[in-house]
Amino acid sequence: MGEILVLVDHADGAVRKPALELLTLARRIGEPSAVVLGAGSAAAEIAAKAGEYGAAKVYVADGAEFADLLVVPKVDALTQIAKAADAAAVLVTSSGEGKEIAARVALRLGSGIITDAVDLEAGDGGPVATQSVFAASFQVKSKVTKGAPVITVKPNSTSPEAAPAAGAVENVTVEFTGKAAKVTSRTPRVSSGRPELTEAAIVVSGGRGVGAKEGFGVVEELADALGAAVGASRAAVDAGWYPHTNQVGQTGKQVSPQLYVAAGISGAIQHRAGMQTSKTIVAINKDPEAPIFELVDYGVVGDLFTVLPQLTGEVKARKG
Amino acid sequence: MSLRIVVCVKYVPDATGDRRFADDTTTDREGVDGLLSELDEYGVEQALRIAEASGDAEVTVLTVGPDDAKDALRKALSMGADKAVHVNDDDIHGTDVIGTSAIIAKALDKVGYDLVVCGMASTDGTMGVLPALLAERLGLPQVTLLSEVSVEGGVVKGRRDGDAATEQVEAELPAVVSVTDQSGEARYPSFKGIMAAKKKPVQSLDLDDLDIEADEVGLAGSWTAVEAVAARPARTAGTIVKDEGEGGKQLATYLAEQKFI
Ligand SMILES: Cc1cc2nc3c(=O)[nH]c(=O)nc-3n(C[C@H](O)[C@H](O)[C@H](O)COP(=O)(O)OP(=O)(O)OC[C@H]3O[C@@H](n4cnc5c(N)ncnc54)[C@H](O)[C@@H]3O)c2cc1C
Ligand SMILES: Nc1ncnc2c1ncn2[C@@H]1O[C@H](COP(=O)(O)O)[C@@H](O)[C@H]1O
């Protein structure tokens, strides 16, 4: 089994949880090596963390290009490292950018690409990826038939498990090529202090039924009592009640938490596409005919403005 | 010289209908209702706005798809695009995204372009990688996943809302752009637009016209293979209670049983 390259997603000098999930999955199909790009002085700490989760080697490359130019420098670096290491597979987190990087790397390597895997296992002819398609109404198992497989994996596809390995750092000098768009300014997202939507074990989402920006108060209070992330339907986002970064669904984030709570959300197919793989689903909706009730493990037909505060009170009381 | 904008649009199965797989594990596009991917309407819309702002531009819509994909082109033409290109060949059936990007790249070269506009993702495959692959193949900057876009003085600029940050990005033309569903509501075709669309030219191209061999595309030319397809088991029917004053408490009891509290 050869080296499995894992592109390590990081922000604010810290490894993001999906990278640890990738390292965990990579161990099923070979020996993981981590690739850390543009992390500046945080690289050493990130490399150490990657080592804890099974990376025997950690390739580190730095340079202003990673921040100043869109996508291409990371493609240059990852392709160069994959070729030099004769990588057996390349794993990248499924985010908008992650998928773009992976696709271009695949083309340069002459490899097939699979995006949005939710599971990965070793197979006879290379790794077999599970995808959930058509708004999660089908499960597809597929594999790459040409070149070293390039696969993007959705966050929360597995739980990270530590497995200490050498984590030997190898510094790489990248030859930058290709035409790239310039990044002329960058405004980091301000953290809400709540868990990341795609990484959270529990997500509480509000929809049009929340009625107004202020209505999200009851959603946030429940989320905080449960230690959950807050999500929103597109209707709530389009109305300007909650930021687009919190949108759950086809054109927002795809989440797969242990528990998904939908309040005042009807359950349109495009919303389902982002939450249908959640382990447990509960909904509060005043319309007993709302399609969301077809998905739920537990549903309450009622007004979210009475049900949520009562639930929040109970949660606080039970947690003491 | 007028600005040549080409919008790549896909004909997809209706998401609100019954989407399924054909026997060869490809997306069934024949037995189901299809339409212009809603996410590509945003591409058409932004292309039209850029053309309107420029005053001297021509908008071509391009699709790779079966006969029925004409419907998608008609819709885009009725929104206001000037002409259409339809790449259609029986041998294309089953092509994966790598192959599709090869076909579109060749077609773009044949048609000519200054700006290529795509949607953020197709609503059936939802990969969101084709624009990046086009940029790679054409050797152009990718200016993708934009929630705001404008073209001025030969430079395309936009706002890209990423996971960790919002970025302002820009590149000189020619370039490949993709736009999100945050970029601005797409217009409805007017009656006049629908009538006018019937007379707009639609050019058909096949693989021969693009110098592509049949074995480079299709299921056989795919670099990935589907091994198995299974309908997701239906979720077992849940418990539904009507709130009669205790709904929140009942839900709390359920969540405690499931060890969430
Ligand atoms: C291409 C495309 C992409 C899309 N992408 C997404 C996406 O990523 N995410 C997404 O969410 N949508 C997406 N949509 C939109 C989607 O089709 C729906 O329009 C949207 O999900 C509806 O949001 P909602 O459920 O909040 O609103 P509605 O459908 O209006 O439902 C509101 C619900 O709240 C209930 N309600 C009202 N008041 C109360 C109350 N006081 N207490 C309890 N319940 C109450 C109502 O009974 C109703 O069921 C997309 C659409 C398209 C075409
Ligand atoms: N068959 C096709 N014909 C024309 N454009 C396409 C086709 N497939 C994908 N596209 C374009 O590429 C974008 C992203 O598609 P995808 O990578 O398949 O999710 C779409 O929004 C379209 O703009």
Whether B226 is in a domain gets the answer no
Q: Which two tokens stand for residue A62?
A: 């730095």
Residue of B nearest to A258 (CA): B260
* B97-111 and B130-138 helices, crossing angle to 10°: 50
Interchain contact B202–A (C-beta under 8 A): no
Ligand 2 site residues, Cβ closer than 6 angstroms = B 8-10, 37, 39-40, 43, 62-65, 97, 100, 104, 118-119, 121-122, 125-131
> What DSSP character marks residue B100?
H
Asked whether the predicted pLDDT for residue B52 surpasses 70, the reply is yes
- B32: pLDDT confidence band, cut at 50, 70 and 90? confident
* Residues of chain B found within 8 Å of residue A299, distances taken between Cβ atoms: 238-241
Residue B31: per-residue pLDDT: 67
| B101·A107 Cβ contact <8 A | yes
Number of the ligand 2 atom closest to the C-alpha atom of B119: 21
**A63 in helix, strand or coil?**
coil
Interchain contact B224–A (C-beta under 8 A): yes
How many angstroms separate the CA atoms of A264 and A257, rounded?
19
Residue of A nearest to B228 (CA): A141
Domain that holds residue B20: 3-221
The closest ligand to the CA of B119 turns out to be 2
How many angstroms separate the CA atoms of A279 and A157, rounded?
11
- Encode pLDDT of A141-178 as tens digits: 999 999 999 999 999 899 999 999 999 999 999 999 98
Residue-averaged pLDDT of chain A? 95
Whether B152 is in a domain gets the answer yes
Note whether A283 and A271 are within 8 A (CB): no
- Encode pLDDT of B197-221 as tens digits: 999 999 999 999 999 999 899 988 8
User: Who contacts A100 (Cβ-Cβ below 8 Å, separation ≥6)?
Assistant: A71, B128, B129, B131, B132, B142, B144, B145
- B20: pLDDT confidence band, cut at 50, 70 and 90? confident
The closest ligand to the CA of B44 turns out to be 2
User: Is B235 or B249 the better-scoring residue by pLDDT?
Assistant: B249
Q: Which residue type sits at B113?
A: Y
Residue B167: per-residue pLDDT: 97
Q: Which of A100, A221, A237 to mutate to test the interface with B (most CBs of B within 10 A)?
A: A100
Percent of chain A with pLDDT over 70: 100
- Encode pLDDT of A242-288 as tens digits: 999 999 999 999 999 999 999 999 999 999 999 998 999 999 999 99
Residue B150: per-residue pLDDT: 98
| A137·B241 Cβ contact <8 A | no
A135: CA distance to ligand 1 center in Å? 15
- Give me the CATH number covering residue B176: 3.40.50.620
Residue A265: per-residue pLDDT: 98
- B234: pLDDT confidence band, cut at 50, 70 and 90? confident
How many angstroms separate the CA atoms of A273 and A316, rounded?
31
ipTM: 0.94
| A140·B228 Cβ contact <8 A | yes
Interchain contact B222–A (C-beta under 8 A): yes
CB pairs below 8 Å between A and B: how many? 267
Q: Which two tokens stand for residue A30?
A: 């070979």
Q: Whose CA is nearest to atom 1 of ligand 2?
A: B64
- A89: pLDDT confidence band, cut at 50, 70 and 90? very high
| Among candidates B39, B128, B241 on the partner chain, residue whose Cβ is nearest the Cβ of A96 | B128
Whether B52 is in a domain gets the answer yes
| Among candidates B123, B161, B224 on the partner chain, residue whose Cβ is nearest the Cβ of A142 | B224
| Among candidates A146, A185, A301 on the partner chain, residue whose Cβ is nearest the Cβ of B240 | A301
Residue B15: per-residue pLDDT: 78
| A144·B224 Cβ contact <8 A | yes
Domains contained in chain A, CATH given: 3-171 (3.40.50.620), 202-319 (3.40.50.1220)
Minimum mean pLDDT range among A11-15, A149-153, B40-44: A11-15
Asked whether the predicted pLDDT for residue B1 surpasses 70, the reply is no
Q: Which two tokens stand for residue B77?
A: 């033409």
- B66: pLDDT confidence band, cut at 50, 70 and 90? very high
Whether B41 is in a domain gets the answer yes
Percent of chain A with pLDDT over 90: 92
Mean pLDDT of B34-48: 97
Q: Which two tokens stand for residue A206?
A: 């509000």
Whether B53 is in a domain gets the answer yes
B252: CA distance to ligand 1 center in Å? 24
Given the structure tokens 């070793």, which residue do they identify? A122
Q: How does DSSP assign B38-79, residue by residue? A: HHHHHHHHHHHHHHHHHSSEEEEEEEE--GGGHHHHHHHHHH
B69: CA distance to ligand 1 center in Å? 29
Q: Which two tokens stand for residue A111?
A: 């490899």
Window 96-155 of B, Cβ < 8 Å to A: 96-98, 101, 120-121, 123-124, 126-129, 131-133, 135-137, 139-145, 147
Asked whether the predicted pLDDT for residue B28 surpasses 80, the reply is no
Number of domains comprising chain B? 1
B98: CA distance to ligand 2 center in Å? 11
Q: Which two tokens stand for residue B132?
A: 């990046």
How many angstroms separate the CA atoms of B237 and A133, rounded?
21
Mean pLDDT of A80-103: 97
Q: Which two tokens stand for residue A313?
A: 């009170």
| B129·A147 Cβ contact <8 A | no
Whether B260 is in a domain gets the answer no
How many angstroms separate the CA atoms of A128 and A149, rounded?
10
Whether B248 is in a domain gets the answer no
User: Who contacts B134 (Cβ-Cβ below 8 Å, separation ≥6)?
Assistant: B8, B101, B104, B105, B108, B116, B118, B140, B142, B176
How many angstroms separate the CA atoms of B108 and A151, rounded?
28
Sheet holding A138-144, edge to edge: A168-171, A57-61, A31-37, A3-7, A89-93, A150-153, A113-121, A128-133, A138-144, B224-231
Note whether B28 and B12 are within 8 A (CB): no
Asked whether the predicted pLDDT for residue B148 surpasses 70, the reply is yes
User: Is B13 or A36 the better-scoring residue by pLDDT?
Assistant: A36
Question: First and final CA of chain B: distance in angstroms?
Answer: 66
Percent of chain B with pLDDT over 70: 98
Given the structure tokens 């580190």, which residue do they identify? A60
Note whether A143 and A37 are within 8 A (CB): no
- A309: pLDDT confidence band, cut at 50, 70 and 90? very high
Q: How does DSSP assign A158-216, residue by residue? A: S---------EEEE------S---EEEEEEEPPP-SSPPTTT-SEEEEE-GGG-STTTH
- Encode pLDDT of A210-245 as tens digits: 999 999 999 999 999 999 999 999 999 999 999 999
Mean pLDDT of A102-128: 96
Q: Whose CA is nearest to atom 11 of ligand 1?
A: A233
Asked whether the predicted pLDDT for residue A1 surpasses 60, the reply is no
Check residue B74 and give left, alpha or beta (phi > 0: left; psi -120 to 50: alpha).
alpha
Asked whether the predicted pLDDT for residue A77 surpasses 70, the reply is yes
User: Is B118 or A320 the better-scoring residue by pLDDT?
Assistant: B118
Residue A100: per-residue pLDDT: 98
Whether B183 is in a domain gets the answer yes
